[in-house]
Structure 1
Amino acid sequence: MAALRLGPLLRYVDEDTATVWVETDGPCEAEVRCEGSAAGGTARSWRVSGHHYALITVVGLEPGTETPYRVLLDGTEVWPLPDSDSDLPPSVIRTPQPDGRGELRLAFGSCRWAARPADSHHDAMGPDALDALARSAFAGGTLPDVLLLLGDQVYADETSEKVRAELAERRDLSEPPWDQVADYEEYTSLYYESWLAPHVRWLLSTVPSCMIFDDHDVIDDWNTSAAWQRDIRATNWWRERILGGLTSYWVYQHLGNLSPGELAEDPLFTAVRSAEDGTELLREFAERADTEPETARWSFRRDFGRVRLLMADTRAARVLSEEHRAMLDDDELKWLREQALTAREEYDHLLIGSSLPWLLPPAIHDAETWNAALCAGSRGPRWARLGEKVRRAADLEHWAAFPSSFDSLTELIREVGTGAEAPATLCVLSGDVHHAYVAEPDLTRLPANTPDVAGTPGTPPELRSRVLQLTCSPMHNSIPAFIRVGFRFGWSGAGRLLGRALARHGRAGRPPINWRLTGGPWFGNHLMTLTTHGRSARLGMTRAKATARGVRLARILERALSPSGGPVRD
């Protein structure tokens, strides 16, 4: 009899349909049964590298309802766990109101260590924000309707003592890739560690989730530059790492981002389910996705009533040649533009999910544009070689390090935010940088010689949307003191002056917009929540804290967001 190994994870939910992902220890028929309802679904498991999975489509749900569910394998109930803690409530599927009516709460964050890496010299981590979210719900708090995980769900390059012990049973850790994960099998250990903690497991079983990778899901500073890529591809261990990373991401994260309709039309998913073992199919796909990024799309769109989420792949879709450096290749940028500009009347709020912030502290933005200019040869070959060393050492590879892409995203946001069909809010949701903040751009300044929508040069169009950079990181990680000092300096007046001096040295020019810090910076383990109702929106910020009553989320900010509202302040 098959047993439940990992999950269930509630992934996609709309008014009457949901998907539930599970991993089992053998082939089986997986079933979801809903309490007091005819809703449910079954799926036959499929196999990858000796592991068995099922993605069950649940149909027949009623809009605007909360339905408890159970998971059965070959007719035997395996969830809730027979010996589960009594304080864990039933797992439920909550469907939205029809036609986008009602309130929507989206919680988001990034960068989560399940456990401290072995031999870590970092500061204390503090409580886990996902664990705190679950425990706060048990104490009467409100769960979000959707959880957006914006990268670094697992750390392939920073493993815990428990995982390292498992790796040591398979191979010699004195050989590359040492105590980092090497292949698909070792990636599974990361997901077990990350998703099996009881409260987090329950949370992921009852709150729908959307996910995208960032660098640590594969390796620190993944796809920083063409030179970085050449160097790592020359090693004897990288090919298995990248194939294991992309294949496991497809299985554990990517599939659940897709709707049942998209899954039904996905030829790779169909082929994997039909194969005796889908390993070689997925390895071939992962090889193409790494060497020919245009053959795979990890970006995706989700509509939650009148809220549209566009989750952008800012890692695997990069163009790395210094002559044509871009955060998104042409196909990805075209897709992002089409999804943002098509049928704007159908949404009131646009969310662009980017694991890396669009708007950084100004000093860091200018340092990255300076570095990009040096690496492109603005001051000759010697400075270019130095620039590459600095880029890798200082992690200078955000949107600012791809200046043409920064400009393209800025112009897309400006275009979407103007005109009669502009959404009430347009937010870029990001993580990565191990602190949280709110930044607001001034989009009224047009680039030189750019006509407005009426064709009058030099007159900016009227911006109708409230545009915000919302950055929330980490959910569970350490915040070394030097990072706190560096980011505070990056927002300071002195930091701005230093950044401008660097940009002038690199002949990088000025960014097309200005922006200011209007919330934060905050340090600790956080979750941000964006709550929408009609064309209104509210921003909430919570920090995980250990209290006498246990781990909880403490509110540190709540503000209304309206197109004409004042700045967000903590």
Structure 2
Amino acid sequence: MLKPTVGPIIGHTTTHHARIFLRGDGNTDSPLFAGIRYRRKGDTAWSRGQFIRLVSYRDLAGVIVLKGLEPDTFYEYQAGWKSTLSPAHTPETILELPLQWPKEIYQLRTPSSETDAPRSYIVGSCRYLRITAGVPATPERGDRTFAGINRIVERANPPISAVVMTGDQVYLDDLNFIAPDRNLKDMLFKYRTAFSQPHIKKLMSSVPTYMMLDDHEIKDNWPAKKNHQDETLYTNALDTYELYQASHSPAHELLDDGTLRPLTRYWYTFAHGNTGWFVTDSRTRRNLSANNRRILDEEQEHSLLTWLIDSPYRVKFVVTGVMFYPDRKFNAGDAWQAFPEQRLRLLETIRSHRIKNVIFVSGDVHGSLTSMLTHSQDPDFQIHTVVSSPFCNSRLLPYANASTFIPGKPMARAPSGEYQYELTGKVISQDNFAQLKVTAQSVQVTFHDRDGDPLEVVDIPLR
């Protein structure tokens, strides 16, 4: 058996199961299979291998689900792929062959089942990697940030429960005005290249990674800049996103037989004890019409509001690719600032239902910050936002800074009063990522530079 050409990538992981993505390669005239075997760390015997068939229309990639795991447990696993000569082989009969597994041993850890256990997360977005004529330009620049994240993972206490990537994991439009990626072959190559750099590969093989898309997984400021030539681009972009980012996410429901239900939407939820996450699709369900302008479709808005009101989590993170707030002085029509009616509906729901400890998490702006939103007539209302961006900026793009945002004046007005925000720390204007540490008292936000050294620490008290 041979090592995966992309992956393994650990996706959605619960106390009892884990989803692992991997890709093979080779001549598709012969059947190809990918497999994983695992064991509790410290045991000597491996599990029986689990195999799936790899098919060319899915870029010879797939997801294997490990079931029957135990909470708060370290596991070791091996992963590989194999080509066979006989067309009659199946994922079951492949086990009858003499198999020599690749020697590399990876590790994963299932989350604790204790409701009040402290949790820790890595959050970030926007990893720019330019590829010209099939050659990546200085890929080590972006991968250096993931080396810094690995340093944090190695010493984190509590251990990192997940890495949450909030959009622009790839830039399909990196040469938007010259040669944007439109065909499936180029898009697949970009994903393979971005996810195969050594440090991001190490990170994703050991820590559950949750992803969502933003505009650069399609095209800058999508769909506002959509034109009549973009139908094929859009189809191919979503096909590659579904394969490399959504395939191992909670957007696929796990069925009783251990298979994953086909994808029907991109937004999803996951949770660890008292900490819940609602990861929105703030990009593909937009309605730009004047009479029903919305950044989330009606079904998703209803689900988000229901989750905010009814879910039992003490801390509720809402992930959105573009900023919920603060507002920028230059309104490009792309963030929540350009959808004020829907944003106000969310705010009024949170306020009127007295929902506490809601934190919006986003990226996009190539700058990182924390901010608090309050209400002029309701001293009990308070929400926070954490913005973390970029993992790696393009030399052609500026960083956001404090002067990027509108200071002082109310962000929104309702009959109940005015909503106004203030920055609760400095604006980070360099490549960085955030670590969120959730305890009984607070959510501690630490922004790190690309080498893992701390830049700013902000404590968000829990109520």
1:476 aligns with 2:399: no
Secondary structure at 2:305 match in 1: helix
Write the mapping of 1:402-417 to structure 2, written as runs, cut at 5 A. Answer: 402-415=339-352
Write the mapping of 1:71-150 to structure 2, written as runs, cut at 5 A. Answer: 71-73=79-81, 75-78=99-102, 80=104, 90-115=105-130, 128-135=144-151, 137=153, 140=155, 144-150=160-166
After superposition, the C-alpha distances for 1:2-59 in whole angstroms (9 at most, x for unaligned) are 6522100011111121111111115214223225266676241242526212211112
Contact 1:109 1:431 in 2 (8 A): yes
Give the CA deviation at 1:96. Answer: 1.7
Give the AA of the match of 1:30. Answer: G
Give the CA deviation at 1:537. Answer: 2.6
Decide whether aligned partners of structure 1 residues 57 and 40 sit closer, same or farther in structure 2, where only a CA change above 3 A counts: farther
- Following the alignment from structure 2 to structure 1, what is the Cα–Cα distance between the partners of residues 12 and 373? 32
Give the CA deviation at 1:220. Answer: 0.5
Decide whether aligned partners of structure 1 residues 264 and 184 sit closer, same or farther in structure 2, where only a CA change above 3 A counts: farther
- Following the alignment from structure 1 to structure 2, what is the Cα–Cα distance between the partners of residues 477 and 117? 17
Decide whether aligned partners of structure 1 residues 141 and 297 sit closer, same or farther in structure 2, where only a CA change above 3 A counts: closer
- Following the alignment from structure 1 to structure 2, what is the Cα–Cα distance between the partners of residues 104 and 40? 32
Structure 2 residue aligned with 1:311: 279
Secondary structure at 1:99 match in 2: coil
- Following the alignment from structure 2 to structure 1, what is the Cα–Cα distance between the partners of residues 395 and 417? 29
Note the residue ranges of structure 2 that are not aligned, 5 or more in a row.
27-31, 83-98
Give the CA deviation at 1:522. Answer: 0.8
**Which residue, 485, 489, 492 being the options, matches 2:403?**
489
- Following the alignment from structure 1 to structure 2, what is the Cα–Cα distance between the partners of residues 434 and 511? 32
Structure 2 residue aligned with 1:28: 33
- Following the alignment from structure 1 to structure 2, what is the Cα–Cα distance between the partners of residues 31 and 481? 41
- Following the alignment from structure 1 to structure 2, what is the Cα–Cα distance between the partners of residues 45 and 512? 57
Decide whether aligned partners of structure 1 residues 562 and 79 sit closer, same or farther in structure 2, where only a CA change above 3 A counts: farther
Structure 1 residue aligned with 2:443: 537
Give the AA of the match of 1:560. Answer: D
State the superposition RMSD in angstroms: 3.5
Write the mapping of 1:419-438 to structure 2, written as runs, cut at 5 A. Answer: 422-423=355-356, 425-438=357-370
Write the mapping of 1:383-394 to structure 2, written as runs, cut at 5 A. Answer: none
Contact 1:349 1:535 in 2 (8 A): no
- Following the alignment from structure 1 to structure 2, what is the Cα–Cα distance between the partners of residues 47 and 177? 34
Secondary structure at 1:441 match in 2: strand
Contact 1:473 1:526 in 2 (8 A): yes
Give the AA of the match of 1:315. Answer: R
Give the CA deviation at 1:414. Answer: 2.4
**Which residue, 367, 374, 388 being the options, matches 1:442?**
374
Decide whether aligned partners of structure 1 residues 115 and 531 sit closer, same or farther in structure 2, where only a CA change above 3 A counts: same
After superposition, the C-alpha distances for 1:218-238 in whole angstroms (9 at most, x for unaligned) are 1101112xxx44xx1x22xx2
- Percent pairwise identity: 20
Structure 1 residue aligned with 2:96: none
Hey, which of these two has a bigger chunk of helix by percent? 1
Contact 2:119 2:161 in 1 (8 A): yes
Decide whether aligned partners of structure 1 residues 342 and 157 sit closer, same or farther in structure 2, where only a CA change above 3 A counts: same
Moved more, 326-335 or 180-189: 180-189
Write the mapping of 1:452-531 to structure 2, written as runs, cut at 5 A. Answer: 460=378, 462-463=380-381, 467-478=383-394, 483-484=399-400, 487-491=401-405, 512-531=418-437
- Following the alignment from structure 2 to structure 1, what is the Cα–Cα distance between the partners of residues 352 and 8? 40
Write the mapping of 1:5-20 to structure 2, written as runs, cut at 5 A. Answer: 5-20=5-20
Contact 2:24 2:54 in 1 (8 A): no
- Following the alignment from structure 1 to structure 2, what is the Cα–Cα distance between the partners of residues 154 and 91? 25
Secondary structure at 1:321 match in 2: coil
Give the AA of the match of 1:97. Answer: S
Give the CA deviation at 1:177. Answer: 8.5
**Which residue, 242, 253, 259 being the options, matches 2:234?**
242
Write the mapping of 1:263-274 to structure 2, written as runs, cut at 5 A. Answer: 263-264=254-255
Structure 2 residue aligned with 1:554: 453
After superposition, the C-alpha distances for 1:535-564 in whole angstroms (9 at most, x for unaligned) are 5432211111xxxxxxx2111223432136
Give the AA of the match of 2:342. Answer: S
Secondary structure at 1:201 match in 2: helix
- Following the alignment from structure 1 to structure 2, what is the Cα–Cα distance between the partners of residues 187 and 8? 19
- Following the alignment from structure 2 to structure 1, what is the Cα–Cα distance between the partners of residues 168 and 435? 19
1:348 aligns with 2:314: yes
- Following the alignment from structure 1 to structure 2, what is the Cα–Cα distance between the partners of residues 69 and 556? 35
Give the AA of the match of 1:347. Answer: Y
After superposition, the C-alpha distances for 1:288-312 in whole angstroms (9 at most, x for unaligned) are xxxxxxxx42110001111110001
Secondary structure at 2:202 match in 1: helix
Secondary structure at 2:114 match in 1: helix
1:55 aligns with 2:23: no
Secondary structure at 2:344 match in 1: helix
Contact 1:39 1:61 in 2 (8 A): no
Give the CA deviation at 1:79. Answer: 6.0
Contact 2:128 2:394 in 1 (8 A): no
Structure 1 residue aligned with 2:338: 401
Contact 1:429 1:469 in 2 (8 A): yes
Secondary structure at 2:424 match in 1: strand
1:338 aligns with 2:302: no
- Following the alignment from structure 1 to structure 2, what is the Cα–Cα distance between the partners of residues 327 and 481? 25
> Rg larger in 1 or in 2?
1
